[in-house]
Amino acid sequence: MAVTPACPSPRAPTYLPWGASVGFASATGAISVLRSDAPPSSFVLERRADAVGAPTSVTAAPRVISGRETYLLWSGAPGASEISAWWDEGTGSCHIYHARLKLGGDATEVESLFAKIIGSIPAAFVDESAGKTGLLAEIALEHAPTAVAVMSFADRLFVADREGGLSAFATSTNALVRWTDLHLTDVRSVARLAVVPFTKRVYALDQAGDRVLVFDGETLDIVTTISVGRAPTAIAADQKANLIYVANFGQQSGGPDERPGSISVIDGTTEMVVATVPTRGHPMAVDAADDRVYAGGMELNPSSSGFIQVVNSRTRTEIATVGTSPPWMMLADPVDGAVYALSNRVLPSSTTNKIIGSMWIELDMRTLGAAGFVDGPGDARAIAWHTGSDIAYRRVYVATQRDIGGVLTFYGPPTAGSTRLSRLSVELRVGDYPVGIAVDSATHRVYVASNGDKIISVILQGR
């Protein structure tokens, strides 16, 4: 019979600024009984989990706070009025997370800050052999990432960064294989990525240079450069057809003229542009599925409305243009017959403009009818999906920035006869300011690149 290893005892709180000699007492009752006096009280939060996710014995019984089994210790020792948090990974099957709070103000302020610190602690790292959804690893990056892409069956993860470079990591070990300079025309521009696994090619946008850079996915040697339309902003690959689609915004930043953009079609065999399809405005997102290309963006000024343009990928002619809110990111889901797009939802108030959530745009592929709705809090930064045929794994992932930092939210497939995704209760804390998601549907791993913390969160999608 397998024996569950024992977790280590809670370590002495020597990392606290007032030293280890202060005695700790268990806090009891709801959060509302906690108060911050003058000088501020100091709280220490400790959350523990063993191999099967059950709490282990510590100095106090757990309480469920914001859906988490939580242990709370506190001391009345004085300290500066501040709030800080971190977590420490344990060894073996045990993981211990710590957060330190030194809070000042009235009870409402204390409770609000305490709730944020609870939300900022990620779920425990999971054992891949258990097949559970959770965080597998975090890959530390030297430079802040701007985009991420994974090449299934080739043991490669690619990351573009703010220093104008491209990194390749081995997905089997999460180790850096090579970094190379992208030679961007302007390193301040964001390089987007797309990959074609069977040709082992990586495509990176050079926005200021109006071109696409093609790299060998094994060596990171540059293969060629391809001139496209003005200010390419998004890229997507039809991996089956070996076609790459580039959405060209149509106007460089600060440009004096106003002209619509276009979609460049690149043949991955010849690495040449074989067609250019004009768009109705400035496209900012693109994806392809089932002999169709979907480009979304903004109408020409002075209009602030948006569109999704549907193009036949064989004839390269427009099928329809559907008016929507301006989509900043999108994905085409042929399995469920829908295109899902996201844009920021900003509502004006008497004092400020506040982002209350992200506007979802749902386009039915069959009827080309679009619907818009707000789904949940947060400023959406990236969207991706698990393309596997097994419905147990099929998910849509959205990375958002919130007041507690980056969060990855999971959505399940729609019910029969619908195109509306179902928001699941699963949410994982990822790095601050997420900028991209890549999904390896072969290994069921999700990679989230975060600009603020300069990390890649490696997440396992369980059944």
- Given this model, what pLDDT does residue 352 score? 52
**Residue 364 corresponds to which tokens in the numbers above?**
């039915």
Question: Does pLDDT of 322 surpass 60?
Answer: yes
Buried b (16+ CB within 10 A) or exposed e, 17-37: eeeeeeeeeebeeebeebebe
Q: Measure the CA angle with vertex 374, ends 369 and 375; round to 5°.
A: 110
What confidence category does residue 45 fall into, taking pLDDT thresholds of 50, 70 and 90? very low
pLDDT at 72: 45
311 CB contacts (<8 Å, ≥6 apart)? 263, 277, 292, 293, 294, 295, 317, 318, 319
| Overall average pLDDT of the 166-182 stretch | 96
User: Strands across the sheet with 211-216, in order?
Assistant: 193-196, 201-206, 211-216, 222-227
Q: Residue 26: helix, strand or coil by DSSP? A: strand
The span from the CA of 268 to the CA of 284, in Å, is 22
Distance CA 315, CA 123 (A): 48
Q: Is 80 exceeded by the pLDDT of residue 102?
A: no
C-alpha 272/C-alpha 296 separation (Å) is 23
Which tens digits make up the pLDDT trace of 136-166? 888 999 999 999 999 999 999 999 999 999 9
Average model confidence (pLDDT) across the chain = 76
Residue 143, Cβ density class (10 Å: 0-12 exposed, 13-18 middle, ≥19 buried): middle
- Helix, coil or strand: residue 45: strand
Task: Name which of 226-230, 282-286, 377-381 the model is least confident about.
Answer: 377-381
pTM, full prediction: 0.78
Q: Where are the beta strands (DSSP E) in 365-454?
A: 370-374, 379-385, 396-402, 405-412, 422-430, 434-440, 445-450
Tell me what pLDDT residue 75 has: 38
- CA 422 to chain CA centroid, nearest Å: 18
Please check the confidence at residue 25 and state whether its pLDDT lies above 90: no
Burial class (CB within 10 angstroms; exposed 0-12, middle 13-18, buried 19+) of 273: middle
For the record, the structure tokens of 288 come out as 């392809």
Q: What is d(CA 258, CA 33) in angstroms, rounded to the nearest whole number? A: 60
Nearest CA to 341 out of 357, 354, 323, 359 is that of 359
Looking at residue 190, its pLDDT comes to: 84
Give yes or no for a contact between 434 and 383, defined as CB atoms under 8 angstroms apart.
Answer: no
What confidence score (pLDDT) does residue 86 get? 32
- Please state, in angstroms and rounded to a whole number, the distance separating the CA atoms of residues 182 and 162: 11
pLDDT-based confidence at 109, cuts 50/70/90?
Answer: low
Q: What is the DSSP letter of 22?
A: S
Query: Which tokens hold the place of 454?
Result: 């300069």
Q: What is the pLDDT of residue 21?
A: 31
**CB count, 10 Å around CB of 172?**
9
Residue pair 322/368 in contact (Cβ under 8 Å)? The answer is: yes
**Encoded amino acid at 258, one letter:** E
Enter the tokens of residue 226.
């391809």
pLDDT at 325 over 50: yes
pLDDT of 16 over the 80 cut:
no
Whether the link from the prior residue into 39 is cis, omega within 30° of 0, is yes
Binned at pLDDT 50, 70 and 90, residue 52 comes out as very low
Spatial CA neighbour of 10 closest among 58, 55, 50, 52: 58
Q: Report the 10 Å Cβ neighbour count for 189.
A: 21
- Residue where the block lists tokens 């080739």: 154
Q: CA-CA distance, 339 to 341, in Å (whole number)?
A: 7
The pLDDT of residue 197 is above 50: yes
288-to-56, 98, 162, 182, 246 alpha-carbon distances in Å: 48, 44, 27, 26, 11
Q: Where are the beta strands (DSSP E) in 189-248?
A: 193-196, 201-206, 211-216, 222-227, 232-238, 243-248
Instruction: Note the pLDDT of residue 90.
Output: 40
